[in-house]
A and B are shown apart, each in its own frame.
Chain A
Amino acid sequence: MYHKFCRLCHSIVIAILVLSIVGCAAPVAAPSAAPAAEAPAPIAAGLEVCQGQNLVLASMTDQYVAAFRALIPQFEEASGARLTLDELGYVDLYQKLIADFVGQTANYDLMTVDIVWSGEFGQNQYTLPLDDFMARDEAELQLDDILPVAWTLGEWQGAHVAYPLAGYANVLNYRKDVLEEAGIEPPATQEELLAAAQALTDPDAGFYGMALLGAKGPAVAQDYMVWVQQHGGRILDDEGKPALNTPENAEILKFFGELFNYAPPGSADYWWDQRETAFRSGNVAMMEGWSIARAGYENPEISSVVGKVDIAVAPVKAGLEPKFGFGGWGIGINADSTPQEQECAWQFIKWLTSPEIQKEWLRNDGAPIRRSTMTDPEIVAQYPWMPVLLESFEKGDGDYRPRIPQYSIIQDALGTHVNAFIVGQVTAEEALDAAQKQVEDNWQ
């Protein structure tokens, strides 16, 4: 009796599982359906070398991955190549790429390269310097149209080890309805930012002034470095040696820590996704973050703050010459791929970054690198915040996080010890001393 009963229960559980899996096997359109693409762009010269090539692209699962999903079929049709997209999270992308480079397996022919990896990938000759290709095809590339700061995406010691793909500016997103109601002007300096965050925080109502990245690891390290930049601090000294524990940096860290008093308590464990979700769910008044997320706030499916958000350049410390944190992604070619694959990969980069395709790229959640795209009337009409972005790009600083081969050591040390400070385990000075020591111990 028992056996029959038990088996029946189990069968039902499994049957439900199986049915639910089989039941949704019907193909569907990609979620964030692209606005209907216009007539395919004219085929750029040179695409014919791709005929029959088989490439793999490793992409971070950032917003722009949706643009890859939409554009790659177009490229395949135009070129006759097969281009497989492999989507990876931030940490596993880095690990898989290093494994691929060190093993010289050339699993990935193309890869998205975070701006901070430029030094490491360049120094170790992991990605192909693109300068020969660029010199050869200079006539078609319209290099002047690409913003100067965008070239920091993948530049290392004068060589281009990755090509600009997606430029991000650190901007201030704020809830215009909330600020208006409180009678607060969008903060223009860091001091005003702190005051506004303080004024807008109301823990009893579950509403907070700022959303910040506090999670141990890359998240808190990168957010802290944003504040170092905005306060005129430095990560490296004049000789390029790490100088994390200067008194100025300790002051900045205290300021950064104070902001956490006006952030949701969970902030100490926020990664990018959680910070974005906190802002979109309407519990936070302000957030400094990458500009690429901006379009998502107007998407009612993932946002409760549609129409309530505005964007401004990121505030810097009063009296400082405004400079804005710049980051984003380049696209690199594996140095171990065959010359034919490398040639085709280069054709893909050329095609993707051409002014015509760039508009499509942007419309599908990509991020800009060209002045012509950012000033294009159609694009500006669709994304009215483009001028703010352009201003941030014009005064962008792509080096506020040192793009050196030892970057991951600095990031790991700051990621651990700044987090320890945020959660109240150590003082700011102790945290930075420990980080400095850890970096020096591991410096290679």
Chain B
Amino acid sequence: MIFRRSRHSDEISVMNRRSALERVVLTIVTILVVLFFMLPIFWLVTTSFKFGREAFAIPPRWLFFEFTLRNFQEVLATTKISQYLLNSIIVSTGATILSLALGVPAGYAIARSQSRILNSSAYFFLILLMVPPIAMLIPFYLIMRDLRLLGTYASLIILDTVFDAAFVVWMMRSYFADVPKEMEEAALVDGASRFAAFWRVALPLSIPGVVAAAIYVIIFSWNDFLFALMLTSPETKTIPLGILASFSAVEINWGKMAVMCLFAIIPALVIALFLNRYFVQGATMGATKG
């Protein structure tokens, strides 16, 4: 649909039909681009293996430094990093399941319905995405207090899901709009209900879209910091809050910070490097159709 290869995609690409000089220039530009985007991450990874003052040696040591695992040992000895990771996994999983369960059928309904009200309800979810999180957070915090749910996984999952599900609807609506209706219609003629048509026909055809949406929800809820700051207890702290604890008034400790950050970016690395097909698809699902 989106990455359909056109016969004339050469027309678009600037890399083709170029003189040798142009090719060299473009290759250099490409290398610079890659350096710009990758060096900060490379810095983070190498810093996690530099202990103490080695981390801020001047001039910077990019490749040849004293390699050590002491930062990892310290983090494992003095923080509850495994607990933070477990909490992040629980929250991300919960938010993902809940927002898919709510958002995918809703997106399908909006995409297939002829009703004006239903169609334009998509904009309602778009507006929801515009709400500054802080505006939602404070009242939600007070409600959770009255329900005695502060500090539970549930409170964080529910608030994450509000924004995540709105995003899923917006994405899945445009995805389903691209899925041909013919097979569903054939199923309806055979006497299947609308639900069956969705569940048995449309959904299996849309697994890539659902995976793409899921990836985004995982990233959003894993990366969330503001909500977790207010809604978690010491037992349910997620990994971004753990990072903050690596700062102290005592000294700059970039090594320890880098280790915590490294744990926090594991899903990002896995998704960007292994699931990039879905990741790309997700970014464009909401975009090309409007």
Q: B154 within 8 Å of A by Cβ?
A: no
On whether the beta carbons of A65 and B76 are closer than 8 Å, the reply is no
Q: Which of B131-145 contact A (CB under 8 A)?
A: 141, 144-145
Answer yes or no: B250 CB below 8 A from chain A CBs. yes
Stretch of A80-88, A115-123, A128-136 with 4 or more beta carbons under 8 angstroms from chain B:
A80-88
- Knowing A10-B273, A61-B248, A105-B233 are in contact, say whether A28-B77 is a contact too (CB < 8 A): yes
A276 adjacent to B249 (CB under 8 Å)? yes
Tell me whether B76 and A89 are in contact (CB under 8 A): no
Q: A87-B79, A302-B53 are in contact. Are A108 and B273 (CB under 8 A)?
A: no
Is there an interface contact between A103 and B77, defined as CB atoms closer than 8 Å? no
Task: Give A294-348 interface residues, CB cut-off 8 Å to B.
Answer: 296, 301-302, 304
From A23, A62, A102, A107, B248 is in contact (CB under 8 Å) with: A62
**Those of B65-79 within 8 Å (CB) of chain A:** 69, 72-74, 76-79
The residue of chain B having its C-beta at the shortest distance from the C-beta of A304 within the complex is B53
Kindly name the residue among A17, A60, A276 whose own CB sees the greatest number of chain B CB atoms within 10 A. Answer: A17
Considering only CB atoms and an 8 Å cut-off, how many residues of chain A contact the other chain?
A: 53
Q: Is B63 interfacial (CB 8 A cutoff)?
A: no
**Given known A-B contacts A13-B269, A92-B241, A281-B53, A107 and B151 have beta carbons under 8 A apart:** yes
Q: Given known contacts A23-B69, A107-B151, is B244 in contact with A273 (CB within 8 Å)?
A: no
Residue among B144, B250, B262 with the highest chain A CB neighbour number at 10 A:
B250
Can you identify 6 A-B contacts, CB atoms within 8 angstroms? Answer: A21-B263, A58-B234, A89-B248, A92-B241, A99-B150, A304-B53
A54 to chain B, nearest CB (A): 11
**Cβ of A35 < 8 Å from any Cβ of B?**
no
A407 CB within 8 Å of chain B = no
Residue of A nearest to B234 (CB): A86
Query: Is B195 in contact with chain A by the CB < 8 A criterion?
Result: no
Q: Are A276 and B234 in contact, CB atoms less than 8 angstroms apart?
A: no
Q: Which of B69, B141, B247, B263 contacts A99 (CB 8 A)?
A: B141
Chain A residues with CB under 8 A of B150: 99, 103, 105
6 closest A-B pairs by beta carbon, nearest first, are A24-B72, A61-B248, A272-B249, A24-B69, A86-B234, A28-B73
Say if the beta carbon of B251 comes within 8 Å of chain A: yes
Question: Which B residues touch A87, using CB under 8 A?
Answer: 78-79, 245
Minimum C-beta distance from B242 to chain A (A)? 10
A56 touching B78, Cβ below 8 Å: no
Interface digits, A262-295 against B, CB 8 Å rule (1 contact, 0 not)?
0000000001111011001100000000000100
Return chain B residues, CB-CB under 8 Å to A89. 244-245, 247-248
Q: Is the interface of A mostly helix, strand, loop or mixed?
A: mixed
In this complex, what residue of B is CB-closest to A276?
B251
Most buried by B among A56, A89, A95: A89
| Complex interface bits, A133-167 against B, C-beta within 8 A gives 1, otherwise 0 | 00000000000000000000000000000000000
A26-B73, A302-B53 given as contacts; is B250 within 8 A of A293 (CB)? Answer: yes
A442 within 8 A of B: no
- Within the complex, the shortest CB–CB distance from A289 to chain B, in Å, comes to 10
Chain A min CB distance to B191 (Å)? 43
**Quick check: B76 and A25 within 8 Å, CB to CB?**
yes
Whether, in the assembled complex, A424 has its beta carbon less than 8 Å from a beta carbon of chain B, the answer is: no
What is the CA–CA distance of A58 and B78 in the complex, to the nearest angstrom? 14
Confirm or deny: B118 has a beta carbon within 8 angstroms of a beta carbon on chain A: no
Within residues 222 to 276 of chain B, which ones have a CB less than 8 A from any CB in chain A? 229-230, 233-234, 241, 244-245, 247-253, 262-263, 266, 269-270, 273-274
Tell me the complex Cα distance, A374–B162, Å: 56
- CB proximity to A under 8 Å, residues B28-85: 49, 52-53, 56, 69, 72-74, 76-79
Judge whether B251 and A96 touch: CB under 8 Å: no
Residue on B nearest A31 in the bound complex, by CB: B74
- Whether A61 and B266, one on each chain, are in contact in the complex, defined by CB atoms closer than 8 angstroms, is no
- CB neighbours (8 Å) of B247 from chain A are 61, 89, 273
B233 and chain A: residue at smallest CB distance: A107
What residues make up the interface of B, taking CB atoms closer than 8 Å to A? 49, 52-53, 56, 69, 72-74, 76-79, 141, 144-145, 150-151, 229-230, 233-234, 241, 244-245, 247-253, 262-263, 266, 269-270, 273-274
Nearest B residue to A104, CB-CB: B145
A69 interface residue per 8 A CB criterion: yes
User: Contact: A29 with B77, CB < 8 Å?
Assistant: yes
Interface flags for A39-81 (1: CB within 8 Å of B; 0: not) read: 0000000000000000010101111010001000000000000
The answer, among A17, A28, A56, A296, for a CB contact under 8 Å with B234, is A56
Give, as a whole number of angstroms, the nearest-CB distance from B109 to chain A.
Answer: 37
Indicate whether A27 reaches chain B with its CB closer than 8 angstroms. Answer: yes
Nearest-Cβ distance from residue A265 to partner chain B, whole angstroms: 14
Q: Are the C-beta atoms of A69 and B53 separated by less than 8 Å?
A: no
Beta-carbon nearest neighbor of A56 in chain B: B234
In the complex, chain A residues whose CB is within 8 Å of the CB of B250: 61-63, 272-273, 276, 293, 296, 302
A301: nearest residue on chain B (CB-CB)?
A: B52
State in angstroms the CA–CA spacing of A46 and B102 once bound together.
55
B249 to chain A, nearest CB (A): 4
Does A199 sit at the interface, judged by CB under 8 A?
no
Q: Which residue in B52, B249, B253, B262 is a CB contact (below 8 Å) of A62? A: B249
Known pairs A21-B263, A86-B234; list 9 more (Cβ under 8 Å). A10-B274, A28-B76, A92-B241, A96-B229, A105-B150, A273-B250, A280-B251, A281-B53, A302-B52
Q: Which of A373-426 contact B (CB under 8 A)?
A: none
Q: Which of A1-25 contact B (CB under 8 A)?
A: 10, 13-14, 17, 20-21, 23-25
Among the listed B52, B233, B252, B266, which residue makes an inter-chain contact with A274, where contact means beta carbons less than 8 Å apart? B252
Task: State whether A273 touches B253 (Cβ < 8 A).
Answer: yes
How far apart sit A95 and B137, CA to CA, in the bound complex (Å)?
14
Q: Given the complex of chains A and B, what is the CA–CA distance between A24 and B262 in angstroms?
A: 14
**Complexed CA–CA distance, A384 and B145 (Å):** 51
Indicate the member of A21, A25, A58, A88 with the most B CB atoms within 10 Å. Answer: A21
Q: Which of A24, A61, A102 contacts B76 (CB 8 A)?
A: A24
By beta carbon, the residue of chain B nearest A84 is B234
